[in-house]
Every structure is written in structure tokens, then in C-alpha cells.
């Protein structure tokens, strides 16, 4: 479009008026700042003000003419824009749940309270992970789940610290090799600590019997788009710091022969610095996507803890199966069934076979918010689930044992 003479004149007049007003304001600010009198101002070297006009003019020249002509405000870049320009990604989530249970949720990892509202996790992840060269990732979580993670990482029975460092590591990528050093999540299992990576509210029995994080060094070699090999050394199960020479070796393989099928296998072998004896875990997870709406997951574990002066040791094994089905676009139903054979009682403290079934309905109400409803039933061949009840005769609360427990949970999950 050709701009007419009158339009051009109006644009130039608007620009000149803005320029004059802006430079006059700049002179007044400079004069006030220097606290000089009006007479002194008149005697100042005019070349100084000429330079001021030039510098301000250059700044105004960087602003589009249309912005001055239209009077539109000039907005500063947002935090998201600054992060994107620097290559840093930021993401997070918040999960809050109401749990109702017939017992004390024995052998559950995170949902240890019952008949209570709970802030499970609030998580924030900042990452700079270029395709080549150095990078880093920091993943911080807060809430009741963080207290349990802190206890595991510090090898204590419990922790009241509601903030935990889920992951924090440096990364270096060269060619097909990626090296990570710091604290990172485990390779074992089909489920993860962050609720955004799971299709159920509660974690499985196998998750209860697996590590959550490791602190050490991990090396991943990407052979091709189908196969990756992983090796590392760390402090063992969850421990972020421990004054011990005992270390655990991590080995893994990630196989993805097609878009519909993937298989991971990993093992952890090393002396546990707390139990002072070798601990071994072999884990495999297979995922099959039958259709865009239907997928199946199978996870299996075999573990062994050697006997020592601290522990009697034991062998355990388990399998968990998942069926996930999307329907009506925003709805997901996830069914989980599993069994954990704790034959020597190392995991649960009692030789037994634990089983559970879980059904979770999820409604993706908005792109960022998900509402979940879950029902779960656990049972065992031994009475090992604790529950508290009140004696009618005395009115006192006592703890008893049962061979089953049930739970209902409602969770709101917001992610960004």
C-alpha cells in the first residue's frame, strides 16, 4: 500500500512530537539528578545535550514507527520468552488428593495417610539440555511425598522436611554419548515419582519395592534410533550422600523396534551401605500400543538382599500389568493388577504374597487440569495390613491387623 503525503506528514509529526517530549523529559531528569540551578543549566555545554539527543534518537529509531504513531504500549519480554530465548525450559505441576481407606494404607509408598486431604506434590523443573555440549537439570518437589523421599535419600525412618531435590545433575553430550552426574530418577519400574508420569493416583506394590533415585554417574550410548545402552555407578538405592566405599553398578538397555512396542531392562548390583551386604535388582518393562486409544504395560521385578549382621536378607519377585484406554477424547480409564511375592519378608517385614487391583478414571477437563477418581483393593495371604479402631468397652483406639484393605481417592492435577 502506498502511503499518501498527508499520512506521512501525520506520522512524522507524531514521531517528532514523541521525540521532543522524550528528550525534554530526559534533560529534566538529568538536571534534577545533578541538582543544578536553572542558570547553571543554561551555561552547560550544549554539545552534551546534542549527544543526549543523538543517543535518545538512536533508541527511538529502534522502536517501530507504527508503535509511536498508534500510541501502542511497548511491552517488555515475558519470563517465558526470556527462558525460551536462552534455551532453558520450565515446567511444573501441583497434585492434591483426598484419601479414604479402611486401613493405614500399609505397604503404600506415598499415600500413607487416610481420611485426609493431602498436598502430594508441587514440582518445578528447570532444564538446559542442548543437543550437544554441556547442560543441566534441576527438579524440586514439595509436599508430603517430598518428606518420604527425603527420608529415603537420607536413610532415616522419617523426615519432616517438605522440600526435596528429586533430580539435580550436570549433563554433557558428545555425539551419541550422554553423561549425567548428580542425582537422577531410577531406570527401574513402570511408574515414576512425579504424578504427571503415571496413569494411577497411588503407586504400585512394585514401586514400593524399588529405588526412586540414585546419586552418581550415568552414561547413555545411543546406538541408533532403536537401541540405547546405559551404564553407571551410584551410591545405591536413593542415598544422596553416604560415608561408605560401597557402590552400586547400574546397567540398562532401551529397545524400541517400532512405534508400537518398547522394552527396557535394567539391573542394579552392589553392596548396600545400610544393610552392609550385596543387593541385586533385575527389572524389565514392556509397553505395547495397540491403537492410539489402547495400550498395555507389563512390569516385572526380581530382587535379592544378601544376609549380613544388619539384616536376614531375602528374595522377592513381582509382576504388574496395566491396561490404559482413552475414550470420549478427554477420558482415560487405567486398570492395574499386580502381585508381589515377598517370600522371605525382606520388603514388607512378613513372609507373604501381596496382591492389589486398582481402577482409575481420569477426566482431562482442560489442557492443564486433570481430575482423577480411583478405587483400590489390597489383599494378602497373611494378616499384615494395619488399621485403627476404637474399642466400645473402653473408648480407646487400638491397632489391629487384617488380610485386606480398600481405598478410594480423588485427585486434582494441574500441570504447566
The mean pLDDT of the chain is 85
Task: Work out the average pLDDT over 287-305.
Answer: 97
Please give the angle made by the CA atoms of 359, 361 and 366, to the nearest 5 degrees. Answer: 155
Q: Are 183 and 138 in contact (CB under 8 A)?
A: no
Q: Are 410 and 373 in contact (CB under 8 A)?
A: yes
Q: Is the dihedral of CA 290, 292, 294, 299 positive or negative?
A: positive
Task: Work out the average pLDDT over 269-277.
Answer: 92
Q: What is the pLDDT of residue 341?
A: 98
Range list for CATH 2.40.160.10 in the chain: 93-415
What percent of the chain lies above the pLDDT cut of 70? 81
Strand pairing partners for 124?
A: 92, 140
Q: Which three cell numbers stand for residue 397?
A: 483406639
Q: Is 72 exposed, middle or buried (0-12, 13-18, 19+ CB in 10 A)?
A: exposed
67-76, 100-109, 230-239 — which is least confidently predicted? 67-76
Q: Which three cell numbers stand for residue 251?
A: 546397567
pLDDT band of residue 62 (cuts 50, 70, 90) is: very low
The model's pTM = 0.80
Q: What is the pLDDT of residue 338?
A: 98
> Tens digits of per-residue pLDDT, 22-59?
444 444 433 443 344 444 444 434 443 444 444 344 34
> Tens digits of per-residue pLDDT, 330-383?
999 999 999 999 999 999 999 999 999 999 999 999 999 999 999 999 999 999
The arrangement of secondary structure in 93-415, i.e. its CATH architecture, is Beta Barrel (2.40)
Q: What is the pLDDT of residue 269?
A: 98
pLDDT band of residue 402 (cuts 50, 70, 90) is: very high
Host H or E run for residue 288: strand 277-289
Strand pairing partners for 360?
A: 334, 374
Q: What is the pLDDT of residue 41?
A: 43
Q: What is the pLDDT of residue 152?
A: 93
Q: What is the pLDDT of residue 156?
A: 79
Flag whether pLDDT at 240 surpasses 60: yes
Closest among 68, 49, 71 to 60, alpha carbons compared: 68
Q: What is the pLDDT of residue 397?
A: 79
Q: What is the pLDDT of residue 155?
A: 83
Q: What is the pLDDT of residue 71?
A: 58
d(Cα 409, Cα 102) in Å, to the nearest integer? 12
Q: What is the pLDDT of residue 391?
A: 73
DSSP string, 216-283: EEEEEEE-SSSEEEEEEEESSSS-S--S-S--EEEEEEEE-SSSSEEEEEEEEEEEETTTTEEEEEEE
Task: Work out the average pLDDT over 242-257.
Answer: 90
DSSP string, 387-414: EEEE-TTT--EEEEEESEEEEEEEEEEE
62-66, 72-76, 310-314 — which is least confidently predicted? 62-66
Closest among 345, 313, 320, 348 to 335, alpha carbons compared: 320
Give Cα 153 to chain centroid, integer Å: 16
Between strands 133-142 and 385-390, the pairing is unpaired
Helix ranges (H only) for 44-109 are 46-61, 65-70, 79-86
Q: What is the pLDDT of residue 93?
A: 98
Flag whether pLDDT at 18 surpasses 60: no
Q: What is the pLDDT of residue 172?
A: 98
Task: Work out the average pLDDT over 109-124.
Answer: 93
Amino acid at each position: 500500500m502506498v502511503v499518501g503525503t498527508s499520512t506521512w506528514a501525520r506520522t512524522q509529526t507524531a514521531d517528532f512530537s514523541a521525540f521532543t517530549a522524550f528528550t525534554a523529559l530526559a534533560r529534566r531528569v538529568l538536571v534534577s539528578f545533578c541538582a543544578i540551578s536553572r542558570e547553571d543549566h543554561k551555561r552547560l555545554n550544549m554539545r552534551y545535550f546534542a549527544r543526549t539527543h543523538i543517543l535518545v534518537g538512536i533508541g527511538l529509531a529502534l522502536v517501530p514507527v507504527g508503535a509511536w504513531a498508534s500510541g501502542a504500549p511497548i511491552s517488555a519480554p515475558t519470563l517465558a520468552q526470556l527462558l525460551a530465548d536462552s534455551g532453558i525450559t520450565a515446567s511444573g505441576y501441583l497434585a492434591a488428593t483426598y484419601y479414604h481407606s479402611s486401613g493405614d494404607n500399609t505397604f503404600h509408598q506415598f499415600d500413607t495417610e487416610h481420611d485426609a486431604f493431602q498436598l502430594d506434590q508441587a514440582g518445578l523443573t528447570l532444564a538446559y539440555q542442548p543437543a550437544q555440549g554441556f547442560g543441566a537439570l534441576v527438579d524440586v518437589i514439595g509436599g508430603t511425598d517430598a518428606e518420604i523421599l527425603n527420608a529415603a535419600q537420607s536413610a532415616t525412618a522419617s523426615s519432616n522436611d517438605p522440600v526435596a531435590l528429586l533430580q539435580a545433575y550436570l549433563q554433557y553430550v558428545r555425539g551419541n554419548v550422554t553423561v549425567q552426574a548428580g542425582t537422577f530418577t531410577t531406570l527401574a519400574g513402570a511408574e515414576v515419582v512425579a504424578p504427571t508420569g503415571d496413569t494411577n493416583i497411588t503407586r504400585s506394590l512394585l514401586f514400593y519395592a524399588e529405588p526412586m533415585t540414585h546419586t552418581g554417574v550415568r552414561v547413555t550410548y545411543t546406538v541408533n534410533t532403536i537401541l540405547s545402552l546405559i551404564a553407571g555407578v551410584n551410591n545405591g538405592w536413593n542415598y544422596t550422600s553416604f560415608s561408605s566405599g560401597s557402590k552400586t553398578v547400574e546397567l540398562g538397555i532401551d529397545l524400541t523396534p517400532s512405534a508400537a512396542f518398547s522394552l527396557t531392562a535394567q539391573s542394579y548390583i552392589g553392596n548396600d551401605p545400610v544393610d552392609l551386604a550385596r543387593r541385586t535388582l533385575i527389572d524389565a518393562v514392556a509397553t505395547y500400543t495397540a491403537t492410539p486409544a489402547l495400550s498395555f504395560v507389563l512390569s516385572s521385578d526380581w530382587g535379592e538382599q544378601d544376609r549380613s549382621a544388619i539384616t536376614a536378607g531375602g528374595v522377592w519377585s513381582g509382576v504388574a500389568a496395566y491396561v490404559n484406554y482413552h475414550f470420549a477424547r478427554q477420558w482415560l480409564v487405567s486398570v492395574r493388577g499386580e502381585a508381589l511375592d515377598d517370600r522371605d519378608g525382606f520388603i514388607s517385614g512378613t513372609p507373604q504374597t501381596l496382591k492389589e487391583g486398582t481402577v482409575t478414571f481420569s477426566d482431562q477437563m482442560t489442557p492443564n487440569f486433570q481430575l482423577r477418581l480411583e478405587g483400590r483393593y489390597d489383599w494378602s495371604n497373611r494378616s499384615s495390613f494395619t488399621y485403627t479402631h476404637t474399642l466400645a468397652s473402653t473408648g480407646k483406639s487400638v491397632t489391629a491387623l487384617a488380610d485386606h484393605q480398600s481405598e478410594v481417592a480423588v485427585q486434582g492435577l494441574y500441570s504447566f
